[in-house]
Chain A
Amino acid sequence: MPSNVVFERLGLLAELTSKATLGRTAIMKLLFFLQECKGVPLRYQFSLYSYGPFDSDVLADISAAERLNVLKSSVVYYPSGIGYEYSPGADAKSVENLAQDFIHEHKENVEWALNHFARKTAAELEFLSTIFFIAKYQNPSTVAKLVDQVEMVKPHFSTDHIRRGFEELVNLGMLRTESN
């Protein structure tokens, strides 16, 4: 992989976490939306799992970013175990400088992703990204078919809930109904 892609990915991680403290799920799904909806060329290959679109390269990048002091993690204690939150590390600025053209080019997209998704819970992000993934790649011909397909992956969500999720993505201009 050309190294400029490495710097661009790391630079984007630094940029995202400089604007909001993010957990691992949030980083995964924000990068997914940036690439798959806004066309930011990150060269990830997301695949659908029960917990939504996922590429282990994203985790590897987070891990690499920590080693290189681009990100720093803090452990968060929850009742059922621990999680991680990420903020910029000591070397975040260095990599942002190396990737400044790329970050500048996609500045508006980054703001869009942060504004709409950074404050959502992990469950919401997994849910919305699953709807988006299926709508884009499974090519359902109608909303009803989309709802059926999402229900198969996320059986504990009701039809109404899935429809509302779909409408939220339509309102954001990420998807469209059959008629428009």
Chain B
Amino acid sequence: MKHDQFVCEIRCPVHSFIGLTALERAIVDSPSFQRLRRIKQLAWTDYVYPGTSHTRFEHSLGVMHLASRLYEAVVRTSEDTLKEVFGYTEAGLARDWQVVRLAALLHDVGHPPFSHATESLLPIRTPGSNPLFPGAAVPAERYAHEDYSVAIIQTLLRDLIEEHPQNRRNQKITVAEVSALISKRAASGVSLFWKDIISGQLDADRMDYLLRDSLHAGVSYGRFDLDRIVSSVCAVRRPEEESAEPKIAIMKGGIYAAEALIIARYWMHKQVYFHKTRLACDCHLGKAVAEILNEERQFGNEQVYYPGPDRKEQLEKFLEWDDYRVMGLLASDYGGEHGRRLMSRDHYRLVCELEESDGTIAELNESTERNNAIVQELGSLVKYDCQPKTLWYKVNPASELVLVDDNGREVIGLLSEHSALMKSINLGSLRFVYADKSDAEIARQRYKEFLKRYKKGAQDAV
């Protein structure tokens, strides 16, 4: 596969040199992409891990680099399957290499300030009607950053991508094709097979953020054998009874590297992403930015939320929001009580971390009820009841990876079935309960007393 040449390289702390084609360089130079230099990858996590001040800019470059490594590996291991199923030619493979890289480069271009920490302030979309579907076509749900990424690509970056000399003369890649690999809803484009390496069970996004966040946090939890994983990916045709379409899978030789990736995600969630202080700061940040947006509204802005992605002028207003602007407003005391708490490190304090049991249904139910009773017992002392999406749901999608033989042809099962390690991890959900700093000790004491009573009650029942 002979793809476009790189015209420059950027030094990356994780992947060393990352090459850019002329089209990619033009995108990186655009204001929309340069804004990512001002969006921190992990929001306020540097309050806990001071090194984590890295940005979506370097992450996006890393994802592009990794996505193309995965793409090239799949082409290397499964070229016959790709040509047979999708009718690829050499030129077609080289073209889609560029499509995948663009999608990877731009997948996060629509992040609000401080990344996920203020995503809850994106507006709710208006349900629309649809000529072929008898009902509200699009539910009244909150926009996600991917919706903004797609809108930016399709409006602000359309000409830059579709009219770029490299693209117009050769590949004729459309923004719809690039968007289809990012959006949950967009579908057009024949390259949808590759969506798995942008957002799938073994995707470049997760792999890059684990390595990058781990490096900047100064922890080793997020490391895994990237080279082994890259050398083990393939496209496999599953038994017809299971699926008619090929899927990205991992060869048996990569099983230990895949396990290490899953463990890395588990540890990073436990140690970094779900760190008690980080979660508290995210809470304050969301409320402080809401306060700022509310202030903005008083000066004529109709939106309590960030501007929406549906109109170009709104989108341009959204892009004016970045970490620098929020920090400036926080420093000028526009963030209300929660802004003050952030600036003076007066964040909520953890009272208890409640775990659910995943042993049996009865235990799961009992632990859920116990946790509800604890929160009720603490009553008004609880300032923040944080229930991140349960660990089952987001940490380990890779455990359901399709495993194939080392020829990359025959499905031999799922990683979760073949890995004893996967079966031994407790994947119950976590719940973090916070109180004001001044109330934290009282709340902890009340929690301990509750547990004593609860255990005694359980013993008496026996």
Asked whether A80 and B239 contact (CB < 8 A) given A1-B429, A68-B364, A149-B188, the answer is yes
User: Is A136's beta carbon under 8 Å from chain B?
Assistant: yes
User: Is B299's beta carbon under 8 Å from chain A?
Assistant: no
Asked if residues A126 and B245 are in contact (CB atoms below 8 Å), the reply is: yes
Q: Give chain B residues whose Cβ lies under 8 Å from the Cβ of A60.
A: 392-393, 396-397, 400
User: Is B411's beta carbon under 8 Å from chain A?
Assistant: yes
User: Is B157's beta carbon under 8 Å from chain A?
Assistant: no
A152 to B365, CA, bound (A): 46
User: Is B412's beta carbon under 8 Å from chain A?
Assistant: yes
What DSSP secondary structure best describes chain B's contact surface? loop
Among the listed B138, B241, B356, B389, which residue makes an inter-chain contact with A76, where contact means beta carbons less than 8 Å apart? Answer: B241
Asked whether A1 and B389 contact (CB < 8 A) given A59-B397, A122-B241, the answer is yes
CB-contacts of B87-139 with A (<8 A): 87, 128, 130-134, 137-138
A41 to B358, CA, bound (A): 23
Stretch of B192-200, B281-289, B376-384, B449-457 at the chain-chain interface: B192-200
Q: Give chain A residues whose Cβ lies under 8 Å from the Cβ of B130.
A: 135-136, 139
Asked whether A56 and B239 contact (CB < 8 A) given A138-B186, A152-B189, A155-B87, the answer is no
Asked if residues A122 and B243 are in contact (CB atoms below 8 Å), the reply is: yes
Asked if residues B361 and A70 are in contact (CB atoms below 8 Å), the reply is: yes
Asked if residues B390 and A127 are in contact (CB atoms below 8 Å), the reply is: no
Q: Please, which residue of chain A has its CB at the minimum distance from the CB of B395?
A: A60
Asked if residues B184 and A139 are in contact (CB atoms below 8 Å), the reply is: no
Asked if residues B240 and A146 are in contact (CB atoms below 8 Å), the reply is: no
User: Is A175's beta carbon under 8 Å from chain B?
Assistant: yes
Q: Give chain A residues whose Cβ lies under 8 Å from the Cβ of B196.
A: 49
Among the listed B187, B247, B393, which residue makes an inter-chain contact with A138, where contact means beta carbons less than 8 Å apart? Answer: B187
Q: Please, which residue of chain A has its CB at the minimum distance from the CB of B397?
A: A56
A84 to B412, CA, bound (A): 11
Among the listed B185, B195, B414, which residue makes an inter-chain contact with A49, where contact means beta carbons less than 8 Å apart? Answer: B195
Among the listed A83, A152, A155, which residue makes an inter-chain contact with B187, where contact means beta carbons less than 8 Å apart? Answer: A152
B199 to chain A, nearest CB (A): 7
- Report A119-144 CB contacts with B as 1/0, cut-off 8 Å: 00111001100100111111111110
Asked whether A81 and B411 contact (CB < 8 A) given A45-B184, A64-B358, the answer is yes
Asked if residues B190 and A122 are in contact (CB atoms below 8 Å), the reply is: no
Asked if residues B242 and A23 are in contact (CB atoms below 8 Å), the reply is: yes
Among the listed B131, B200, B427, which residue makes an inter-chain contact with A178, where contact means beta carbons less than 8 Å apart? Answer: B131
CB-contacts of A72-118 with B (<8 A): 75-76, 78-84, 91, 94-95, 98
Asked if residues B392 and A64 are in contact (CB atoms below 8 Å), the reply is: yes
Asked if residues A173 and B134 are in contact (CB atoms below 8 Å), the reply is: yes
User: Is B406's beta carbon under 8 Å from chain A?
Assistant: no
User: Is B201's beta carbon under 8 Å from chain A?
Assistant: yes
Asked if residues B199 and A47 are in contact (CB atoms below 8 Å), the reply is: yes
A36 to B369, CA, bound (A): 31
Asked if residues B389 and A126 are in contact (CB atoms below 8 Å), the reply is: no
Q: Give chain B residues whose Cβ lies under 8 Å from the Cβ of A75.
A: 413
A77 to B410, CA, bound (A): 11
User: Is A69's beta carbon under 8 Å from chain B?
Assistant: yes
Asked if residues B201 and A56 are in contact (CB atoms below 8 Å), the reply is: yes
User: Is B387's beta carbon under 8 Å from chain A?
Assistant: yes
In order of increasing CB-CB distance, the 7 nearest A-B pairs are A81-B411, A123-B244, A78-B239, A56-B397, A51-B245, A47-B184, A59-B400
Interface of B toward A, CB cutoff 8 Å: 85-87, 128, 130-134, 137-138, 183-190, 192-193, 195-196, 199-201, 237-247, 356, 358-362, 364-365, 368, 387, 389-390, 392-394, 396-397, 399-400, 404, 410-414, 416, 423, 427, 429
